[in-house]
Chains A and B, each alone.
Chain A
Amino acid sequence: MAKVLMKGNEAVGAAAIKAGCKYFFGYPITPQSELPEYMSLELPKVGGVFLQAESELAAINMVYGAAGTGARVMTGSSSPGISLKQEGITYCAGAELPCVIVNMMRGGPGLGSIQPSQSDYFQATRGGGNGDYRTIVYAPSSIQETVDYVMEAFDKADLYRTPVLILADGMIGQMMEAVEFKEPKKIDLPEKDWSTTGTKGKRTHNIVNSLYLDSELLEKHNLKLEEKYKLIEEKEVIYESFGLEDADVVCVAYGTTSRIVKNAIKLSEEKGIKVGLIRPITLWPYPYEIFKKINPNAKGVLTVEMSTGQMIDDVKIAVEGKFPVYFNGRTGGMIPTPASILTDIEKIAGGIK
């Protein structure tokens, strides 16, 4: 199929429908409102349902209900709205319901701003709701990647029976880029024999629930979930990296910020500084292992984020104290510039006094 020009939010909707998503429940919020708008126009055409809920809480609980029937279902929002959805997300995790949740992050905390930000990293990767659970988190850096991972997200959600998060920012949501819709990879998925679609008098009924009043049973359930999360950590890590083996400095960034970092790396090369990049595409599971490939003589690792420093915690875990970890970040909707990143790279390469 030929390339078309799409806005990130619309492309998320188109990719979801392509992946077989039939239901979208949401509540509008800038900068992701084009997603529900797109779904309201397009889902009825494929026999699906778009419903604007009365609130984010209602929307995520509708997702819970639809997922319980085994349907492919999505919701989307931006930071404050995703905060409201956390209760529903932990319920989905507890009841092992596959669903896809999109967060086009904006400045926070609280109502914050409508401009892009990456300050929901903690919430996305540490579990924003209660209990021991994890969600797979994809952090695409272009509209094309967003499309590809939205499709993949539905498969992984079904494969592991887990909520999957697409964590992007307002810039990805609002930006236009050329995209191509490739046929999604066909993978073998287990039958949804747990879904509540009626017994037809032939079996005992299925129960979708996250309540386990018996401590022993709940512990068993938690250990089962833990086993699943270990398997995801083993199999689902995705990242991009280059130039680590002979790097003077290594940058770590994801999403929109990684694109700015790539420009800064080009500028650094012109000045003769060797800079490597680690770009996590899954934020959970995090690509800790690849950090072991960093040149042992590198001067330091620079994390660049649109926050006051959240992923930096994972970077520190990953480098195991072998390298100093530096930070460059803007917040509140401000975007780091290639020039400021270059200045930091030069300082680190020259040795910070």
Chain B
Amino acid sequence: MLDKRLVIITGHYGSGKTEFAVNYAVKMKNSYSNVSLADLDIVNPYFRSREKKILLEDMGIQVLDSSINNQTLDLPALPAGIMGSITNLNMKAILDIGGDPVGARVLARFSDQIKMMDYDLFYVINGNRPETQTKENVIRYLKDIESTSGLKVTGLINNTHLLKDTSVSDVELGHELSKEVSWEIDVPIRYESAMMNIADKIVSEEIKAKLFPLNLYMREEWMS
């Protein structure tokens, strides 16, 4: 299944949306000449995709962040260019949204324009986060995000990990959880992410079919 031009990435707080979004942008740059990544995270003060602006711009990816040119503020200021990236049919546009329904609130501002486009709304699942370890809880957050944003989730991302402690069994655990969610709400799993060092150790054919190997751009060398 081919992803739509406009891809919106949401999920529970701390599910790994930003790491996935950054990796996804880098991957899309291989297939599209115009790629933009908009950082719409108005929830977190640290670890936002705008921290990787220079790295991404060097790869030719356009980064849209706060209209106030300061990396370290937690002001909910959005740049005007976001609307352009949503509506520009020549742009592979990726929107990285803050966590939880409160983070998704920012999407309501753009939902009328988004609905006029062909879009994908991905919901990132990390089965190792205490609040999203059961099918019921995963679905509850998903529904809340849908009602806050006014948009429908079109795909699930299994992003179950423990950072550098992740093992294949974490990915498998997340796969089973995502499958249950997928079955219940009839939304397909679109990607199964795994860090580079374990991606080639995965044996499950079901996971391999949708495998999305991840580089850890957001973690400094000294972090676990």
Complex interface residues of chain B between 4 and 50 (CB less than 8 A to chain A): 13-14, 44-47
Contact partner of B221 (CB less than 8 A), chosen from A3, A170, A263, is A263
What residue of chain B has the Cβ atom nearest to residue A335's Cβ? Answer: B220
Segment with Cβ contacts to A, from B61-69, B87-95, B126-134, B202-210: B126-134
Contacts of B133 in A (CB 8 A): 4
Cβ-based interface call for A325 (8 A): no
Contact B165 A3 (CB under 8 A): yes
Contact partner of B45 (CB less than 8 A), chosen from A4, A114, A259, A260, is A114
Query: With A and B bound together, what is the CA distance between A199 and B73 in angstroms?
Result: 52
Cβ-based interface call for B223 (8 A): yes
Contact B46 A4 (CB under 8 A): no
Contact partner of B72 (CB less than 8 A), chosen from A7, A113, A142, A178, is A113
Cβ-based interface call for B80 (8 A): no
State the majority secondary structure of interface residues on A. Answer: mixed
User: What's the minimum C-beta distance from A15 to chain B, rounded to whole angstroms?
Assistant: 12
Contact B163 A114 (CB under 8 A): no
Range class of the A interface residue count: 20 to 34
Q: Given that A5-B14, A5-B126, A338-B221 are known contacts, is A178 also in contact with B74, CB under 8 Å in the complex?
A: no
Query: With A and B bound together, what is the CA distance between A7 and B163 in angstroms?
Result: 12
Contact partner of B14 (CB less than 8 A), chosen from A7, A113, A142, A333, is A7
Q: Given that A4-B128, A6-B130, A338-B221 are known contacts, is A174 also in contact with B73, CB under 8 Å in the complex?
A: no
Give A164-193 as 1s and 0s: 1 = Cβ < 8 Å from B's Cβ atoms: 000000110011111000000000000000
Contact A178 B163 (CB under 8 A): yes
Cβ-based interface call for A316 (8 A): no
Contact B128 A31 (CB under 8 A): no
Q: Given that A3-B128, A114-B74, A115-B72 are known contacts, is A263 also in contact with B222, CB under 8 Å in the complex?
A: yes
User: What's the minimum C-beta distance from B217 to chain A, rounded to whole angstroms?
Assistant: 14
Contact B73 A142 (CB under 8 A): no
Cβ-based interface call for A262 (8 A): yes
Contact partner of A338 (CB less than 8 A), chosen from B46, B129, B222, is B222
Cβ-based interface call for A61 (8 A): no
What residue of chain B has the Cβ atom nearest to residue A174's Cβ? Answer: B46
Query: With A and B bound together, what is the CA distance between A231 and B154 in angstroms?
Result: 62
Cβ-based interface call for B162 (8 A): yes
Cβ-based interface call for B190 (8 A): no
Contact partner of A177 (CB less than 8 A), chosen from B129, B221, B224, is B224
Contact B162 A5 (CB under 8 A): yes
Cβ-based interface call for A30 (8 A): yes
Contact B45 A31 (CB under 8 A): yes
Contact A178 B46 (CB under 8 A): no
Q: Given that A6-B130, A263-B222, A338-B221 are known contacts, is A176 also in contact with B44, CB under 8 Å in the complex?
A: no
14 contacts between A and B (CB under 8 A): A3-B162, A5-B163, A6-B14, A30-B45, A113-B72, A114-B73, A114-B74, A170-B45, A174-B45, A176-B14, A176-B163, A177-B224, A178-B162, A259-B222
Q: Give the 6 A-B residue pairs with the shortest CB-CB distance, closest first.
A: A174-B46, A178-B162, A5-B128, A263-B222, A178-B165, A259-B222
Which residues of A are at the interface with B, using a C-beta cutoff of 8 A?
A: 3-7, 14, 30-31, 113-115, 142, 170-171, 174-178, 259-260, 262-263, 333, 338
Excluding A115-B72, A174-B46, A178-B224, 7 further A-B contacts by CB distance (< 8 Å) are A4-B133, A5-B129, A113-B72, A174-B45, A175-B46, A177-B163, A333-B72
